[in-house]
Structure 1
Amino acid sequence: MILIGLARRGKRPLPLAKLPIILMKKALLIGCLAILSFQANSQTDTTTQNLNEVIIQENRIQIPFSKQSRNISLIDRQQIETTPGRSLQEVLSFVPGVDVRQRGVTGVQADIGIRGGSFEQTLMLLNGIKLSDPQTGHHMMNIPVPLVNIDRIEVLKGPASRIFGQNAYTGAVNVITSLSDKQSLRLQGYGGDFGMKGINLAGSLPVGKYRQNLAVSYDDSNGHQYNSDYQVSNIFYEGGLDLNSKNSIRGMIAYTDRTFGANGFYTSAFPDQWESIQTTLASLSHTFTSGALSLNTRMYGRRNSDEYRLRRNEPQFYQNNHTSDVFALETNGSYKSKLGVTGFGVELRKEQIESNNLGDHERSLTGVFLEQMVNVGEKTDIRAGVYSNYYSEYGWKHFPGLEVGFQATKAIRLYSGIGSSFRIPTYTDLFYVGPTNIGNPDLQPEQARSFEFGGKWSHSNWRGELVYFNRYSESVIEWTRINTVEPWQPQNFNEVTFNGVEASAYYRVNPNGRSVKVKELMFSYNFIDANFTTQEGLESRYALTALRNQVIGGVLVGFGEKVEWNTKMRYVERISLDPYFLLDMRVDYNRMGKLGFFAETSNITNTDYIEAGTVQMPGRWFRAGFMVNLE
């Protein structure tokens, strides 16, 4: 696989005899800190959690991770902190079944797909709040939360419209933050290749019963190639107060500013592309809990401003200015009775945009959720429900779903589910006008019906999962063109079927006194078969870049109680693109102590590859930094 990855675009692969020597040299360079610090003192990693007991943060019925009848990946704080990466995008690239297509280092802009779906078909959430942008799915990762402040990430694979609403077409990613009762301060700084540097600060300062967090970050780089520099700033504040035993409130306000050279992001014809994006998010929620009834009401707003230029220093040549706004009000609840658990919810949502290119538009949505979970005997549980929504342009749509779980033994759980999903076109899909892309106002929403069957195994420190899925899509939206002279334009395609298999195994050791130990071990394989075929002479832009084979592996080794060495590998093969292999490593010293250090290297194999657009990804690159933890 390594040789295949290095052979991209005619490059001769490294001789097999030399490859281990090169990898060994890089590994030894990264591992020097581990060897020097072998005799470290003892301490406890407070980020370690019992993942089986974690409650998955859906908006209504709350179920522990171990009792879920869905294919869900859970990434906790320890995994986030020890993964070789400086961004959420890089962390997600090691999640089975998730296709991360980055444009440049640290994912300054990245598209996220699940189970062969496009970036438009994945729903991003922050503490259950939808981050969908009506302009384009390219803004889905404009998440205004520094990585240091993320508590965990929940990735739900498969149709999630019944749970989260429209746009959760192939899955959903929910980023979770938490409020602490303890005072704390965490500071991280780093520097590396390409003039890269960054600083992250997160603090928790409870005052009486009021809990609050503040996090800020700044990252920039000169870029790994011409016109690929970037500057990213984030500020995030949240607070919460328990009014009494039944009522609590929680508020959040966040802002991100991303400015970057966009060489090859959307077209190779204009290497001087440039973009500047500012996103503001604010929310306020109230939770009422009394006996069997739980009710959460929240309102939130999101504004995204996007300035795009074809020529960075010549805005008069071609410039787009878009400002999109989303306002929403949601009420979600659950009620426990002799019949089981009933979940219910209502959402009101308004989307609007002002744009010199797309025009001025607005649309509204009303959605209703209803679901029921019942236990049949001691081993079987059934969860069924429906999401119905009314869009101002498309009328009523209904999305039912059903999951069945069977606890065969204490260690083995079998599950199966069916569901439907839905996505409406973005304003870019409908109305964009440019030299290389043009919208289609006649587009219809895309819909899909999905089925999956799987099994989970959990014993001692081991977890494993095997799942098969099938997705039958109708009216799929795909950008196409007749030839390289004509612009890309989206069309509806009648039928597309995806079949896939995911197998994964995960190991985590409990804390022990051994001087050398494997703390985590993971391996996964994903295969996806798509029968998407375009008309003869019609070129497809996104569909034929979906994953076909994906292999992910990782091992986290502890030396003493202060040194951790994490090695991650990925093999990625897409339907019509050359495959590639990537190897990353990270070493942490005293990660949980008051003062710690880390060093990490990405793409140790120096692989030549492209993930999105025509952006040539960097070869081998290095960064290192420090961490200060005060409580």
Structure 2
Amino acid sequence: MKKTRFYILFLGLLCSLPVFAQNDTINVLDEVFLTDTKLKDFSTGQQVTVLNDSVLKKNGALLTSALNFNTNIYFKENGLGMVSSPSFRGTTASQTAVLWNGININSQFNGQTDFNALNAGGFDNISVRGGGGSVVYGTGAIGGTVHLNTNLDFTGKTKQDIFFQYGSFNTLDARYKIKTSGKKWSLSLAAARNSSDNDYEWPIEGRENENGKFYNSNLNLGFAYRLNEKNTLKLYSEIFDGERHFSLIRPSETKTKYQNFDTRNLLEWVGEFGDFISVARLAHLNENYKFYGNITENQSSSGKAQTLIGKYDLNYSVSKTLKLNAVLTNTYTDGSGSGITENTRNIFSSAFLMKHRPFQKFQYELGIRKEITENYESPLLFSAGTHYDFTDFYSLKMNISRNFRIPTYNDLYWAGAGNLNLRPETSNQVELGNHFKHRNLKFSLTGYYIKIDDMIRWLPSSNNIWRPKNEEKVETYGVEVLAGWEKEIFKDHQISASGTYAYTVSENMNTGYQLIYVPFHKATGSLTYAFTDFSIDYQLLYNGEVFTRSDNNSRYNMDAYTVSNLGITYDLGKTNTYKIGARVLNIFDEEYQSVENRWMPGRNFNIYLNLNF
């Protein structure tokens, strides 16, 4: 019955109203100004999808929700608001890189980013790029990259946005953003607060989500000042302060909680000298966490990492059709924590990139990167991408690359178990994308193959101590579909829709088994109908059955599930935009979980007010 309902709903969306580029929600890269110029300039052969502010408001404050309902990334959540880790194109959580204004912010301790420790309200847009990106972005960019962007302009305008949402389980989502500028300066400031008692009922009689409350506060600042016609200074800063009580599987378990306080600062100097563009960057990242094994006691384990990044980027436009780019980066990290002896590591890298459009319909790019460090032997990385427009209707993209992920602090320095002889994980991959466009209709079909060597796994040694080793080889391959259509059917009546589908195989080459928590099938869809001052939108998420045991014992499989949301909005504004709205989440009250024994909420509700002036 569940599968039947899914196919009826999803095929109706995808076949009759296919979309992936909506003017007010999801855009292809070229339609949006981005602060991370490398994302636009060096993504030849790859597809980049941009989620703007409007689509981020349709989902929860935490980043997991927006990406889960609008991209092909699969997320494993230990309950609503709890730890959330991605699987992008069948890879592990540490093989997806997260970039904050072009700076890699994956944890120094476990190599991952917890997507429920990122508040989507602090960013102007969020971009998702599938496939390898280590030549440009470094470690972890194997399955794909997620980009958190703050944009600055010099339009001389001031815009303010206030968003307030309240819903079930005493859930609060409050956001404020102001963007203002003059001829020589630009300011972007965003603040957000998200909290919840998170005490939803479980589909087990008499049980609710115990010890699940959380809160987080987020502040984002962007500032730019033009010193003169050739030189501009930019400053980006972010502060994230969060606390989560980790949900219990059984009432008898000890209640725990986790606190994290992260700061990120980036100073950028841009010089434009004719055919040369020089960008010097200095970044400081602070990662700080505490884990309380018993919330009634004041004892905690902790970790702290300070990272200093110096980066110089020189871009030379040889001609209108040929661009060369050299990038030098030095990353110094000092980390320590409970169970980890204090250690430092320094990594120097150099990269060279080239982009060429020999004629109007064809362009290609090449890139190489090499890192130098005392901690491990780094491989030579490369990438190559092509894009050919056969007609106005059809274009073909191809990209090949070699990428890597370095061992983390936990892998190298965990007391009594760290392994200083670990090698970086490496991957070789290729993708081929077919892109179709006809009037208001867009459709893309991308196939890919990734082979990963030296996968790091923690395994028991002869003395029963778990230690990390380069043990596994993994291959992932699959197909991704993005489709879209939008149209003004008659005056003041617009309809738009979007759909994605991913078929993913991710196999341990030593055993032939599918990796755990990687579904063969994932699909999303959305449909929006706007008329005069009203709009109605529908969202759908389908995740297929997943294995939870490495031997693929189907007895322990987690069932497939389909989750649907429905929203309505009314615009009160005349000259400014004042919106009120309501949403019903999980309207069919689906009983589901994305991690074993970690139930997600049933049907729940929220109302919101959005002011723009």
TM score, norm. by length of structure 1:
0.83
The answer on whether the counterparts of 1:101 and 1:112 sit within 8 Å (CA) in structure 2 is yes
Q: Does 1:246 align with 2:230?
A: yes
Distance 2:115 2:39 in 1: 26
Q: Does 1:116 align with 2:90?
A: yes
AA aligned to 2:62 is S
The answer on whether the counterparts of 2:63 and 2:116 sit within 8 Å (CA) in structure 1 is no
AA aligned to 2:607 is A
3-state secondary structure, aligned to 2:391: coil
1:352 positional shift: 1.8
Q: Quote the residue 2:361 is aligned against.
A: 379
2:498 alignment partner, one of 522, 525, 528: 522
3-state secondary structure, aligned to 2:593: coil
The answer on whether the counterparts of 1:84 and 1:602 sit within 8 Å (CA) in structure 2 is no
1:578 positional shift: 2.3
The answer on whether the counterparts of 2:95 and 2:141 sit within 8 Å (CA) in structure 1 is yes
Cα deviation 1:258-281 (Å, max 9, x = unaligned): 10111259x999552210000011
3-state secondary structure, aligned to 1:392: coil
Q: Quote the residue 1:31 is aligned against.
A: none
Q: Quote the residue 2:110 is aligned against.
A: 136
Distance 1:312 1:522 in 2: 44
Q: Quote the residue 1:222 is aligned against.
A: 197
The answer on whether the counterparts of 1:60 and 1:334 sit within 8 Å (CA) in structure 2 is no
Cα deviation 1:109-138 (Å, max 9, x = unaligned): 421231111111111112212212211245
AA aligned to 1:250 is K
User: Structure 1 residues 439, 597: CA separation in 2 closer, same or farther (over 3 Å shift)?
Assistant: farther
3-state secondary structure, aligned to 1:493: strand
The answer on whether the counterparts of 2:28 and 2:48 sit within 8 Å (CA) in structure 1 is no
Comparing 619-628 with 272-281, greater Cα deviation is found at 619-628
Distance 2:68 2:450 in 1: 22
The answer on whether the counterparts of 1:273 and 1:310 sit within 8 Å (CA) in structure 2 is yes
1:111-190 paired onto structure 2 within 5 Å: 111-141=85-115, 147-180=120-153, 181-190=156-165
Q: Quote the residue 1:23 is aligned against.
A: none
Comparing 370-379 with 247-256, greater Cα deviation is found at 370-379
Q: Quote the residue 1:275 is aligned against.
A: 258
1:100 alignment partner, one of 67, 75, 79: 75
Cα deviation 1:125-181 (Å, max 9, x = unaligned): 12212212211245443766x534422221111110012122212211111122253
1:101 positional shift: 2.4
Q: Quote the residue 1:234 is aligned against.
A: 218
Q: Quote the residue 1:77 is aligned against.
A: 53
3-state secondary structure, aligned to 2:115: coil
Comparing 394-403 with 204-213, greater Cα deviation is found at 204-213
Q: Does 1:209 align with 2:184?
A: yes
AA aligned to 2:406 is I
User: Structure 1 residues 544, 147: CA separation in 2 closer, same or farther (over 3 Å shift)?
Assistant: closer
The answer on whether the counterparts of 2:28 and 2:50 sit within 8 Å (CA) in structure 1 is no
AA aligned to 2:274 is G
Cα deviation 1:539-593 (Å, max 9, x = unaligned): x9x9311231111111111122x22212111111254132111111222222874
2:430 alignment partner, one of 440, 446, 451: 451
User: Structure 1 residues 254, 596: CA separation in 2 closer, same or farther (over 3 Å shift)?
Assistant: same
TM score, norm. by length of structure 2:
0.86
The answer on whether the counterparts of 1:60 and 1:333 sit within 8 Å (CA) in structure 2 is no
User: Structure 1 residues 73, 50: CA separation in 2 closer, same or farther (over 3 Å shift)?
Assistant: closer
Comparing 222-231 with 616-625, greater Cα deviation is found at 616-625
AA aligned to 1:387 is R
Q: Does 1:311 align with 2:285?
A: no
3-state secondary structure, aligned to 1:93: helix
Q: Quote the residue 1:90 is aligned against.
A: 65
Q: Does 1:572 align with 2:554?
A: no
Distance 2:588 2:254 in 1: 27
Q: Quote the residue 2:18 is aligned against.
A: none
AA aligned to 1:580 is Y
Q: Quote the residue 1:361 is aligned against.
A: 343
User: Structure 1 residues 458, 63: CA separation in 2 closer, same or farther (over 3 Å shift)?
Assistant: farther
Distance 2:165 2:302 in 1: 33
Q: Does 1:191 align with 2:166?
A: yes
The answer on whether the counterparts of 1:461 and 1:508 sit within 8 Å (CA) in structure 2 is yes
3-state secondary structure, aligned to 1:597: strand
Distance 1:440 1:601 in 2: 49
The answer on whether the counterparts of 1:142 and 1:256 sit within 8 Å (CA) in structure 2 is no
Distance 1:504 1:50 in 2: 11
Distance 1:515 1:570 in 2: 29
1:314 positional shift: 2.9
Cα deviation 1:345-390 (Å, max 9, x = unaligned): 0111012212122221111111111011223443222211101111
Distance 1:571 1:444 in 2: 37
Distance 1:295 1:594 in 2: 40
The answer on whether the counterparts of 1:248 and 1:286 sit within 8 Å (CA) in structure 2 is yes
1:427 alignment partner, one of 393, 409, 424: 409
Comparing 238-247 with 92-101, greater Cα deviation is found at 92-101
3-state secondary structure, aligned to 1:120: helix
1:87 positional shift: 2.6
The answer on whether the counterparts of 1:58 and 1:163 sit within 8 Å (CA) in structure 2 is no
3-state secondary structure, aligned to 1:428: helix
2:331 alignment partner, one of 325, 349, 355: 349
Q: Quote the residue 2:554 is aligned against.
A: none
Aligned identity (percent) is 19
2:485 alignment partner, one of 476, 483, 507: 507
1:468 alignment partner, one of 442, 447, 459: 447
Q: Quote the residue 2:280 is aligned against.
A: 297
The runs of 5 or more residues in structure 1 that have no matched partner are 7-15, 21-44
Distance 1:332 1:305 in 2: 29
The answer on whether the counterparts of 1:477 and 1:492 sit within 8 Å (CA) in structure 2 is yes
1:331 alignment partner, one of 279, 287, 312: 312
1:409 alignment partner, one of 391, 394, 407: 391
The answer on whether the counterparts of 1:186 and 1:202 sit within 8 Å (CA) in structure 2 is yes
Cα deviation 1:40-77 (Å, max 9, x = unaligned): xxxxx988978643356655484498xx4213222223
Q: Quote the residue 2:523 is aligned against.
A: 551
User: Structure 1 residues 370, 269: CA separation in 2 closer, same or farther (over 3 Å shift)?
Assistant: farther
Distance 1:241 1:489 in 2: 50
User: Structure 1 residues 487, 590: CA separation in 2 closer, same or farther (over 3 Å shift)?
Assistant: farther
3-state secondary structure, aligned to 1:159: coil
Figure out how many residues of one structure are paired with residues of the other and give that number: 574
Q: Quote the residue 2:31 is aligned against.
A: 53
Distance 1:126 1:596 in 2: 30
The answer on whether the counterparts of 1:500 and 1:527 sit within 8 Å (CA) in structure 2 is yes
AA aligned to 2:425 is E
Q: Quote the residue 1:625 is aligned against.
A: 608
1:488 positional shift: 6.8
Distance 2:407 2:292 in 1: 23
Cα deviation 1:476-525 (Å, max 9, x = unaligned): 1235679xxx8876443342111111112112336x8634331x211221
The answer on whether the counterparts of 1:200 and 1:217 sit within 8 Å (CA) in structure 2 is yes
3-state secondary structure, aligned to 1:547: coil
The runs of 5 or more residues in structure 2 that have no matched partner are 10-22, 200-208, 548-557
The answer on whether the counterparts of 1:118 and 1:543 sit within 8 Å (CA) in structure 2 is no
1:238 positional shift: 1.5
Q: Quote the residue 2:2 is aligned against.
A: 2
2:588 alignment partner, one of 602, 605, 612: 605
The answer on whether the counterparts of 1:150 and 1:177 sit within 8 Å (CA) in structure 2 is yes
The answer on whether the counterparts of 1:61 and 1:341 sit within 8 Å (CA) in structure 2 is no
Comparing 589-598 with 569-578, greater Cα deviation is found at 589-598
AA aligned to 2:482 is S
The answer on whether the counterparts of 1:55 and 1:64 sit within 8 Å (CA) in structure 2 is no
AA aligned to 1:69 is G
